[in-house]
C-alpha cells in the first residue's frame, strides 16, 4: 500500500502495524471529540428552536386533547427514530400514554404498498387510510429529501393534519415544499450527528407535550 520511501509517513496504513496502543488512544480521543460535537449541536439546535418547539408542543397538546393521533415516518435509521418517537408517546417512561403509531411498523402494509404502488407512496397511502383532519404527522429525514416522506407531508397537509418535519443539512425539500407547518432543520453535514440531535429534539417535544397534558389533566 505504501512504498518503502514514504511508508514512514503513513504508519496507520502499514500492514506490519502490530501495537494497538496508539490506535486505541486515537479512537478514544476521537470518540470524545465526536461526543462533544454531538452535545454542542444538540444544545445549539435546542436553543435556536426554543420558540418553535414551544409552538409545536402547544399545538400538539391541543390536538391530542381534541382526540388527535400521531403518525410518524422515516427511512432507515430515521425509521427507527420515528418508531422510537411513537413509542415514547404510547409507552412513556413517565406521564400519560397518548395515541401514536409509526407508519413503518407493519411490514405487510409497507411491502404491499411498496410492491403495488411504489415506495414513494408507502407513507402517504397509509395516511389516506388512517388520518383525520385533527391528527399529527411527524416525519424524519436527515437529508430532508426522502421522496416518501415529502409525499406523506403533501398528503397530510391536504388533509389538514399538523405537519412537523425533522431534517438535517440545509433542510432539503422538506424546508421548501410548503407542506410542512413546522420544519426543524439540524444544521450539520454528519448524518450521525443530525440523528442524535433529532432524537434530542424529539425527546424535548414529547416532554413538552407531556407537561401540558399533565397540567391540564383533562383526559
Query: Interface residues with other proteins (CB under 8 A)?
Result: 12-18, 20, 23-32, 34-36, 38-39, 42, 76-77, 79-81, 83-85, 87-88, 93-94, 191-192, 195-200, 202-204, 206-207
Alpha-carbon distance of 98 to 86, in angstroms, equals 9
Nearest approach in angstroms of CB 169 to other proteins is 12
Residue with cell 436527515: 142
Nearest approach in angstroms of CB 65 to other proteins is 23
- The C-alpha cell that represents 34 in the structure block: 465526536
Nearest approach in angstroms of CB 206 to other proteins is 7
Nearest approach in angstroms of CB 23 to other proteins is 6
Q: Which is nearer to other proteins, 57 or 197 (CB)?
A: 197
b/e burial code for range 84-123 (CB count within 10 A of at least 16 → b)? bbbebbeeeeeeeebebbbbbeeeeebeebbeeeeebbbb
The answer to whether 165 and 49 have CB atoms below 8 angstroms apart is no
Q: Which is nearer to other proteins, 52 or 190 (CB)?
A: 190
Q: Which is nearer to other proteins, 151 or 193 (CB)?
A: 193
Nearest approach in angstroms of CB 139 to other proteins is 16
Nearest approach in angstroms of CB 93 to other proteins is 5
Q: Which is nearer to other proteins, 140 or 155 (CB)?
A: 140
Q: Which is nearer to other proteins, 122 or 202 (CB)?
A: 202
Between the CA atoms of 111, 113, 119 and 123, what dihedral angle is there, to the nearest 10 degrees? -110
Q: Which is nearer to other proteins, 156 or 200 (CB)?
A: 200
Q: What one-character-per-residue DSSP string does 58-102 give?
A: HHHHHHHHTT--EEEE-STHHHHHHHHHHHHHHS-SSS----EEE
Q: Rounded to whole angstroms, what are the CA distances from 105 to 70, 72, 140? A: 14, 10, 15
Amino acid at each position: 500500500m505504501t512504498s518503502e520511501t514514504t511508508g514512514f509517513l503513513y504508519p496507520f496504513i502499514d500492514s506490519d502495524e502490530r501495537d494497538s496502543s496508539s490506535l486505541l488512544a486515537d479512537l478514544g480521543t476521537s470518540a470524545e471529540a465526536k461526543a462533544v460535537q454531538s452535545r454542542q449541536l444538540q444544545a445549539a439546535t435546542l436553543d435556536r428552536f426554543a420558540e418553535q418547539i414551544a409552538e409545536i408542543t402547544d399545538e400538539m397538546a391541543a390536538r391530542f386533547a381534541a382526540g388527535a393521533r400521531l403518525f410518524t415516518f422515516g427511512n432507515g435509521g430515521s425509521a427507527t427514530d420515528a418508531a422510537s418517537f411513537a413509542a415514547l408517546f404510547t409507552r412513556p417512561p413517565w406521564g400519560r400514554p397518548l395515541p401514536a403509531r409509526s407508519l413503518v411498523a407493519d411490514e405487510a402494509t409497507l411491502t404491499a404498498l411498496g410492491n403495488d404502488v411504489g415506495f414513494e407512496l408507502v407513507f402517504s397511502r397509509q395516511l389516506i387510510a388512517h388520518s383525520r383532519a385533527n391528527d399529527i404527522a411527524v416525519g424524519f429525514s436527515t437529508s430532508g429529501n426522502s421522496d416518501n416522506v415529502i409525499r406523506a407531508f403533501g398528503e397530510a397537509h391536504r388533509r389538514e393534519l399538523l405537519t412537523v418535519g425533522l431534517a438535517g443539512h440545509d433542510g432539503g425539500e422538506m424546508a421548501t415544499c410548503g407542506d410542512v407547518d413546522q420544519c426543524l432543520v439540524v444544521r450539520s453535514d454528519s448524518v450521525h450527528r443530525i440523528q442524535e440531535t433529532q432524537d434530542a429534539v424529539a425527546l424535548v417535544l414529547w416532554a413538552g407535550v407531556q407537561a401540558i397534558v399533565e397540567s391540564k389533566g383533562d383526559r
